[in-house]
């Protein structure tokens, strides 16, 4: 490492991936600075004020933060604890139908018709076996197709994982990979609500409906990260605080409230960053947690990239479709108490989801959207820092370009939630909405997508986000990507940040 620069690495963005990456770099004795435009750490889960409460900007639940990363970073020592490590789900259908389930547990969802109940264990176990292959892939840096020994060994390891599935499973894996979750569930189960609930797990956060290709992959990704929905004590913002604390203990420096205007490039090599006030901070590597397109076109600049890559970056699919609606409640009395500690899904059935998606295809907010609703202040009383209670909902599908997206999402959510918990809206004293456009404005992530780039086979693993960038390196030496646009994608997992750090470290700093 050179002494010419003030830092060995500057990480752009103090989202969880940026911080995880910074931690591993610092652990490898790099001098690291993390810069974020926002005043607080956490990225899309950073704290914002809402009434007398503090809420995470967008992400409200932990769907599977990597245990390995949490252990490496000793997050427990840095204050991370769980209010619940698996909030069980209740799905709502038409005419008051309800179903209880959790993907993370062996328990059979209930109530189910006998035939479905009989099929559940085998279905879940098979999906778990498939998911373990995906989990293995998710933890890896995508190997090169034309690589050397290490790459060849990685390919062999993946092939071996597949082979170990056995002939029958392997055939099934390849078969369902090419179809969609609608067909898979349709041929397995009868219960409409069960199929709706499972399909919701496949499409939440994705611009997909049950009949879309790739929805089996996203379902397996959900299972690969454990299938649980957990809530840190203190909420998702507490996870960000723990990450920050772990980083600080390793000597990582933070500079918040300052945007990086551009990555400084000298002789086709990163030399640091220019901040929005014009200050230049020098560094031999720059790792960006912004999406690949934003990093390429805005921070590095097209002049430093080749035309073909620029075109591919412009065509990365990543238009957000998930919005968030927060409700500040004066009271939760009179509501069905047992429901308030659960994860409530309005899925209807698979056709409801498909119709909701259809609206968004033509730029409209779904009139009967998918909704995931939780009451953080009930599940975790530590979060009730004032007089009010809080309900947070993810609402899908809300296209980025829709007019008045926030109001429409709120209206649509009101209708659906009103059916799930009659009387809830009478207790609402304030609302807060976050649309994909708001996410884009607040985080600088182009498209405001949950995963920064849609997860699909053509944007997965060694093709994510575009083939030539899958190994976390941008073409300008010393420039890297560590955000959710990178393999294995978004959701607060820490894995893109960890993989990216491994690549930066393997490159050995300045050549």
Partner 1 sequence: MNDALSLRQVLETPFHARTSALCRTNHWGNWAGYTTVQVYEDVQIEYFAARNAASLFDLSPMTKYDIEGPGAEAFLNRLLTRDVRKLRAGRVAYVAWCDDDGMLMDDGTLFRFDADRFRLCSQERHLPWLLDSAIGFDVDIADVTESVAGLSLQGPTSCEVLRQAGCRDIGALRPFALDRFEIDGVTLVISRTGFTGDLGYELWLPPGDALATWDALMDAGPLHGITPMGSLALDMTRIEAGFLQANVDFLAGGRPTRTGRLRSPLELGLAWLVDFDKGHFNGRRALLAERDNRASRYRLVGLDVDGNKPATDAFLYDRRGREAGVVTSAMWSPTCKKSIAIASLNAGVDVDLDGVWADIYVSRELRWRRIKAPCREVPRPFFNPARRRATPAGHR
Among 47, 240, 478, 490, binds ligand FAD (CB under 6 A): 490
Q: Considering the complex, what minimum distance in angstroms separates the CB of residue 359 from ligand FAD?
A: 18
Q: What is the DSSP letter of 13?
A: -
Residue 483 engages ligand FAD in binding (rule: CB under 6 A): yes
Contacted entry of ligand FAD, partner 1, none for residue 142, CB cut-off 5 to 8 Å set by kind:
none
Q: Which does 434 bind (CB under 5 to 8 A by kind): partner 1, ligand FAD, none?
A: ligand FAD
490 makes contact, choosing from ligand FAD, partner 1, none, with CB < 5 to 8 Å by partner type, with: ligand FAD
> Which of 7, 9, 18, 312 touches ligand FAD (CB under 6 A)?
18
Q: How far is the CB of 448 from partner 1 (least distance, A)?
A: 21
DSSP collapsed to 3 states, 118-155: HHHHHHHHHHHHHHHHHHHHHCCCCCCCCCCHHHHHHH
Nearest to 425 by CA among 324, 331, 322: 331
For residues 300 and 479, the answer to whether their CB atoms sit within 8 Å is yes
Strand 89-92 to strand 343-346: parallel, antiparallel, or no bridges (unpaired)? parallel
Q: Count the site residues for ligand FAD by CB under 6 A.
A: 42
Nearer to partner 1, 95 or 267 (CB): 267
> Are 452 and 293 contacting, i.e. CB atoms less than 8 angstroms apart?
no
Which positions lie near partner 1, rule CB under 8 A? Answer: 268, 297, 301-311, 314, 468, 475
Q: Which residues are registered as beta bridge partners of 264?
A: 272
Cβ distance to ligand FAD smaller for residue 46 or 211? 46
Residue 316 binds which entry of ligand FAD, partner 1, none, CB below 5-8 Å type-dependent:
none
Q: Under the criterion CB under 6 A, does residue 447 sit at the interface with ligand FAD?
A: no
Partner from ligand FAD, partner 1, none contacting 68, C-beta within 5 to 8 A by type: none
Helices (H), 340-403: 350-361, 376-379
Nearer to partner 1, 177 or 301 (CB): 301
* Site for ligand FAD contains 260 (CB under 6 A): yes
- Secondary structure class of 399 (helix, strand, coil): coil
Q: Is 444 in the site for ligand FAD (CB under 6 A)?
A: yes
3-class SS letters over 243-266: HHHHHHHCCCEEEECCCEEEEEEE
Please state, in angstroms and rounded to a whole number, the distance separating the CA atoms of residues 368 and 353. Answer: 8
Binders in 305-324 for ligand FAD, by CB under 6 A: 320, 322-324
**DSSP string of 291-353, one letter each residue:** -HHIIIIIIIIGGGS-HHHHHHHHT------EEEEEEEES--TTS-GGGGGSEEEE---HHHH
397 binds ligand FAD (CB under 6 A): no
Candidate ranges 16-24, 102-110, 165-173, 498-506; the one touching ligand FAD (CB under 6 A): 16-24
Residue 483 near residue 15 (C-beta atoms within 8 A): yes
60 sits near ligand FAD (criterion: CB under 6 A): yes
Pattern of binders to ligand FAD over 345-384, x per CB under 6 A?
A: ----------------------------------------
Q: What is the spatial distance between Cα 64 and Cα 42, in angstroms, rounded to a whole number?
A: 16
Which 3 state secondary structure label does DSSP give 397?
Answer: coil
Least Cβ distance, residue 385 to ligand FAD (angstroms) = 20
Binding of residue 13 to ligand FAD (CB under 6 A): yes
CB of 427 to ligand FAD, least distance (A): 23
Q: Spell out a b/e string for 87-99, using b for 16 or more CB atoms within 10 Å of the CB, else e.
A: bbbbbbbeeeeeb
Report the partner that residue 74 touches, choosing among ligand FAD, partner 1, none (CB closer than 5 to 8 A by kind).
none
Secondary element (H or E) of residue 1: none
Which DSSP symbol is given to 450? T
Q: Which does 297 bind (CB under 5 to 8 A by kind): ligand FAD, partner 1, none?
A: partner 1
H or E segment and range at residue 179: none
Shortest reach from residue 257's CB to partner 1, in Å = 27
304 binds, among ligand FAD, partner 1, none (CB under 5 to 8 A by kind): partner 1
Q: Which does 2 bind (CB under 5 to 8 A by kind): partner 1, ligand FAD, none?
A: none
Q: Distance between CA 345 and CA 378 in Å, rounded?
A: 17
- Residues 451-480, interacting with ligand FAD (CB under 6 A): 451
Residue 249, token pair as written in the block: 């203990």
- Any contact of residue 17 with ligand FAD (CB under 6 A)? yes
- Binding residues for ligand FAD (CB under 6 A): 12-18, 35-38, 43-45, 58-63, 259-260, 289-290, 320, 322-324, 394, 434, 439, 443-445, 448, 450-451, 483-484, 490-492
């Amino acid at each position: 490492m050179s002494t010419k620069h003030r830092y060995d690495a500057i990480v752009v963005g103090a989202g969880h991936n940026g911080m995880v990456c910074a931690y591993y770099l610092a652990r490898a004795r790099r001098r690291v600075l993390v810069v974020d435009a926002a005043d607080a750490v956490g990225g899309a889960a950073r704290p914002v004020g809402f009434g007398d409460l503090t809420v995470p900007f967008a992400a409200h639940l932990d769907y599977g933060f990597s245990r390995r990363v949490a252990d490496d970073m000793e997050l427990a020592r840095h204050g991370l604890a769980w209010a619940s490590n698996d909030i069980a789900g209740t799905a709502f259908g038409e005419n008051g139908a309800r179903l209880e389930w959790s993907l993370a547990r062996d328990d059979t969802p209930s109530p189910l018709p006998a035939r479905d109940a009989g099929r559940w264990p085998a279905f879940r176990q098979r999906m778990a076996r498939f998911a373990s292959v995906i989990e293995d892939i998710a933890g890896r840096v995508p190997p090169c197709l034309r690589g050397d020994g290490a790459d060849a060994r990685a390919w062999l390891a993946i092939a071996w994982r597949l082979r170990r599935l056995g002939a029958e499973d392997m055939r099934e894996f390849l078969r369902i990979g090419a179809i969609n979750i609608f067909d898979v569930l349709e041929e397995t189960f009868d219960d409409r609500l069960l199929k709706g609930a499972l399909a919701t797990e496949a499409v939440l956060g994705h611009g997909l409906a049950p009949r879309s290709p790739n929805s089996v992959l996203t379902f397996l990704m959900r299972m690969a990260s454990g299938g649980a929905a957990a809530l840190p004590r203190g909420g998702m913002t507490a996870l960000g605080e723990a990450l920050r604390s772990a980083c600080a203990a390793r000597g990582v420096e933070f500079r918040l409230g300052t945007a990086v205007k551009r990555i400084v490039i000298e002789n086709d090599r990163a030399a640091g960053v220019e901040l929005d006030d014009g200050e230049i901070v020098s560094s031999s590597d720059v790792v960006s947690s912004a999406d690949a397109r934003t990093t390429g076109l805005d921070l590095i600049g097209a002049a430093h990239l080749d035309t073909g890559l620029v075109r591919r970056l412009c065509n990365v699919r990543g238009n957000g479709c998930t919005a968030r609606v927060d409700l500040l409640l004066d009271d939760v009395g009179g509501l069905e108490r047992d429901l308030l500690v659960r994860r409530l899904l309005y899925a209807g059935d698979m056709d409801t989801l498909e119709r909701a998606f259809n609206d968004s295809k033509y730029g409209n907010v779904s009139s009967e959207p998918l909704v995931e609703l939780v009451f953080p202040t009930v599940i975790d009383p530590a979060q009730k820092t004032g007089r009010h209670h809080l309900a947070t909902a993810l609402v899908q599908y809300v296209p980025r370009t829709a007019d008045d997206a926030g109001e429409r999402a709120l209206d649509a959510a009101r209708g659906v939630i009103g059916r799930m918990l009659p009387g809830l809206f009478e207790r609402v004293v304030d609302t807060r909405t976050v649309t994909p456009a708001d996410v884009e404005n607040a985080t600088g992530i182009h498209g405001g997508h949950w995963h920064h780039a849609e997860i699909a086979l053509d944007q997965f693993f060694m093709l994510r986000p575009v083939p030539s960038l899958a190994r976390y390196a941008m073409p300008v030496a010393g420039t890297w990507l560590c955000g959710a646009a990178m393999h294995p994608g978004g959701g607060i997992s820490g894995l893109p940040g960890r993989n990216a750090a491994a690549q930066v470290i393997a490159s050995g700093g300045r050549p």
